[in-house]
Chains A and B, each alone.
Chain A
């Protein structure tokens, strides 16, 4: 069977499953639409959350980034998983106990003001939209590579599928679809790693091969030593040392962690289980499922790095493997013969200083896709990987779309514009809103504002860290925090972070102007501290919140009260 036939088979099969589930689990009421009726088992919810969490960016780019940056890439590994710990112990149980379905709901009630609710709605829409754009683009790229269609047609096809099951099925539909998608993703990610681990290290478990010995080509030495050797030889920084300043590394990791803890589409997932106890169990499952992928990512990155260099370095162009030509044609890799010897040479900054010219450039994103080709794995593994990529993009896009439609229909229409909305009308608005949001996402998926999207996604974490995170945290843990303090803190935090990013990103700020050596990626951490500080000072000089709000804060701290959150709206 040809590669195309395998691809069609795997992807067609997975789609049939997703759509079948969506039709069976169609939502009937707003409660089912927003929170799947609150009766999903912790295990299933854990899997669905893990699928929601892992976007196409994580699935495709993370391993590639690890391959090219080694130790520095740990900031993503620790930042995203560590953020989940913060989210679970500091936020989710309390928000769940509070019992409303959305984050803007909490902020609006806790800070007793429509202005605060509106700010939160705008933040949620902004964060979700920037994410979903990247997802749609990812779907488009994979589809276009698969079926030989243009990227824009690919984006349209992907958008249609997402709308079909997120818009119609609501939370109930996507929860069970995401369970299926997690399974596809987990197998698609780990199976190639196992094959390559066996080839390079003789170990079936990639994580053990990673810290074991490299045994291919008759050599035998510790695998990581081999990697360091390769990197130093070619003039890159040591794989295990990294090149970021410690303070920058610290701040970026912290910004990612706190930003993660403020992601609305993940928080809302915990409203789908029965009670606070189930929330905690569900969170354990989620992180365990996420860990399966996150513990494999560094091994894929490291294996890909070794394979990539071993297969290409110093080999004549005509003898280079077939996949190199394919990726070159697709624009993911490029080679120019600088010294005219007809061989491929890849060099890092240290060697270039000594006059060697680098002839090979590639996009780190391609590492995961190229991995099975480099390891010469069977065709069905490649097909599985394709299905996994699409599952990753679709599951996150569907989750985001749902939060977007809720933010518009519930928080904006029902709570601010038109309070007398009926249940049926609200679902109608939610479906219309998801259609609208999807059209916007498709537009930007087809016409991405250049490199802007990738950057905004990274910065969205910083913005969430400096705005949502401290405001939610103080809303739960401080009884004294009032609306003046919260609003002043949010404005100060997000204003500071945004201007720092804009200055260095769009107004030509240079590296030596960095404040304390912190890059724009990590500035969200300082913005967050600023938010806390400003809130505390302003709150100290303004009147305390009204007694019913203090009561609300007291109430979320203790167990008991209504079991199923999310009452019918």
Chain B
């Protein structure tokens, strides 16, 4: 494999950090945010899920469901970044 240019590598790494940053923000929001810190407020102000208060449901079920989707998003997002990076080498 040919050596990539420094600029292409820099762009790839930045894009990767952005991806991880976005996903981990969601990760923090649904677990620590909804499940713990904002829980009481959400219980009182958000519609219940079935008969479960929103914050309680997030802590026991919702967060885990979101986690699975986060990993799916990560696999797709990073796959695209990688393809783009592999394609870039010819242009340089």
Contacts and interface: CB of A to CB of B under 8 A. Distances in A.
Given A81-B64, A211-B51, A559-B82, 4 more contacts: A71-B59, A81-B63, A224-B56, A249-B36
Interface residues of B, number: 40
14 contacts: A86-B27, A88-B71, A211-B52, A211-B57, A222-B51, A224-B56, A249-B36, A253-B35, A284-B75, A291-B67, A298-B61, A557-B16, A558-B13, A559-B86
Interface string B64-79: 1101101110110011
Given A71-B56, A246-B37, A560-B1, A287 B82 contact: no
Nearest to B50: A211
A89 B68 contact: no
Which of A85, A240, A560 is most buried by chain B, counting CB atoms within 10 A of its CB?
A85
Contacts of A291: 64-65, 67-68
B61 A207 contact: yes
Contacts of B72: 284
Contact of A280 (B49, B63, B78): B78
Contacts of A287: 67-68, 71
A280 B79 contact: yes
B65 A89 contact: no
B46 interface: no
A222 B56 CA distance: 15
Contacts of B52: 210-211, 224, 240
A77 interface: yes
Interface in A527-563: 554, 557-561
Interface string A292-306: 001100100000000
A283 B75 contact: yes
Contacts of B49: 211
3 nearest CB pairs, A to B? A211-B50, A222-B51, A74-B59
B71 to A, nearest CB: 5
A90 interface: yes
Given A85-B71, A280-B78, A295 B61 contact: yes
A519 B35 CA distance: 19
Nearest to B21: A89
A515 B37 CA distance: 19
A32 interface: no
Given A82-B67, A558-B4, A89 B20 contact: yes
Contacts of B63: 77-78, 81-82
Interface in A66-110: 71, 74, 77-78, 81-82, 84-86, 88-90, 93
Contacts of A71: 56, 59-60
B51 A225 contact: yes
A295 B66 CA distance: 12
Interface string A260-293: 0000000000000000010011011001100100
Contacts of B61: 207, 210, 295, 298
Contacts of A207: 61
Contact of A82 (B13, B20, B31): B31
Interface in B28-51: 31-32, 35-37, 49-51
B79 to A, nearest CB: 6
B18 interface: no
A249 B13 CA distance: 34
Contacts of B53: 224, 240
A212 B59 contact: no
Contact of B51 (A212, A250, A257, A561): A212
B42 to A, nearest CB: 12
Contacts of A277: 79, 82
Contact of B85 (A84, A246, A558): A558
Contacts of A257: 31
B44 to A, nearest CB: 12
Given A283-B75, A284-B75, A78 B56 contact: no
A295 B68 CA distance: 12
Given A85-B27, A222-B51, A298 B60 contact: yes
Contacts of A211: 49-52, 57
Contacts of B59: 71, 74, 77-78
B12 A558 contact: yes
B64 A280 contact: no
Contacts of A216: none
Contacts of B64: 77-78, 81, 291, 294-295
Given A85-B67, A224-B51, A294-B64, A254 B32 contact: yes
A223 interface: yes
B92 to A, nearest CB: 14
A284 B68 contact: yes
B74 A250 contact: no
A266 to B, nearest CB: 14
A78 B31 contact: yes
